[in-house]
Each structure stands twice: as structure tokens, then as C-alpha cells.
Amino acid sequence: MQALGATLGQHKGEALRQRIADIHPGCAVTVVDAFVDADNWPALLPAPVDALIDACDQVRAKSALAAWALALTLPAVCVGAAGGKRQAQAVEVQDLAETTHDPLLAALRQRLRKEGAAPRQGRIGLRAVYSRESVRAPEMACAGEGAGDGTLNCHGYGSSVMVTATFGMVAAGEAIAQLVALL
């Protein structure tokens, strides 16, 4: 929830850095403005990490992050798609192998297994935040560009902040639980 009237048009990372500084001036935040892919990860990291939370929406990036975390047995949480979902209370956490109703996580699971980064069957060892709630288009159906193409990719389609915030908080809680379990 870094978006405020004062940050309209600002890069998300910078807006979040400023918001964190307002909350805790002593917290050091490094913003890396780059997309993750297999060729640049983990070199993008400015320092070692204790845990990973992936909340991106590109399967290739998710795969690079997940494969890296699995190889290092690093505590990690992968967040599924929240777009088109409205019930924050429906959020669940399972092993990636057990998630349903989420094409993004299904594609990630398939890719990890195909590339040998995860077992071909059974549990994967990567926790995932997701919802079984069916995706719904906005009440005001999309009009204009992208309308009628059978997808949810159109102007005006978005996510409910209640759902995305819940996904994020649940992912943070799961990452902390994994870290505590290592103590």
C-alpha cells in the first residue's frame, strides 16, 4: 500500500522506499529497478538474504526465483495471482504441489518440474499463497481495447487491495514462520 496521492506516477520501488523511511527512518532500503530472469538472478541482489518472497506475475521470473531458493534450501514463499479475486478471507497457504485454481502457480509448478528444479511428483518444498476463489471480471465489463478477447487483460481490470494486501501479509507471515522454524 505504498500508493498515495503524493506518489502518483512514481516508481513503485521508490514510493515504497520512501514509505518505509517515513515509518522507520533507520531502515535501509535498496531499490533494484530491474526484471528478474535466469540470466541476472541472483546477481541483482545487493546483499545476502534470509528468505525470499516472490510476488511477481511472470512465470519465467518466478521460476528463476523458486529454482534458486529450492537449490539453496532458502526459506521461500511464492505468491499466486490475486487479480479478479475479491474474498481476502479465502487466502490459503500450501506446498506449491497442492495449490489449485491458480493458472500462474500451475504454470510455475509445471516449469519447475520440467526443468528439474522440483521433483516430478509429490511435494515441491515451496510454500505458496493462493486462493481457490474463481476469478471474476469487474462489474463494469471492459470496453474498448482488449474487450471481447476472452481474457481479463483490458483497461480497468485490476486487483482488490484487500486481497493483494492479504496475500502479502500472509506471505510475510509464512516467511517469518519458516525463519523461526530454523532457530
Q: Does 169 have pLDDT greater than 50?
A: yes
Residue 1 confidence (pLDDT) above 80: no
Residue-range domain boundaries for the chain: 1-33, 35-181
For the stretch 80-96, pLDDT in tens is 999 889 999 999 999 99
Q: Note if the pTM is more than 0.95.
A: no
Higher pLDDT, 77 or 3: 77
Is the pLDDT score of 151 beyond 70?
no
Average pLDDT, integer, range 123-148:
77
Percent of the chain with pLDDT over 90: 66
Residue 72 has pLDDT above 60, yes or no: yes
- What pLDDT, in 10s, does the model give residues 16-70? 899 999 999 999 888 988 999 999 999 999 889 999 999 999 999 999 999 999 9
Q: In what order do the strands lie in the sheet with 76-79?
A: 52-54, 76-79, 127-131, 91-95
Q: What are phi and psi of 95, to 5 degrees?
A: -65, 145
Residue 154 has pLDDT above 80, yes or no: no
Average pLDDT, the chain: 88
Fold of the domain built from segment(s) 35-181: Rossmann fold (3.40.50)
Lowest mean pLDDT across 46-60, 103-117, 133-147: 133-147
pLDDT at 156 over 50: no
Spatial distance between the Cα atoms of 163 and 80, rounded to a whole number of angstroms: 11
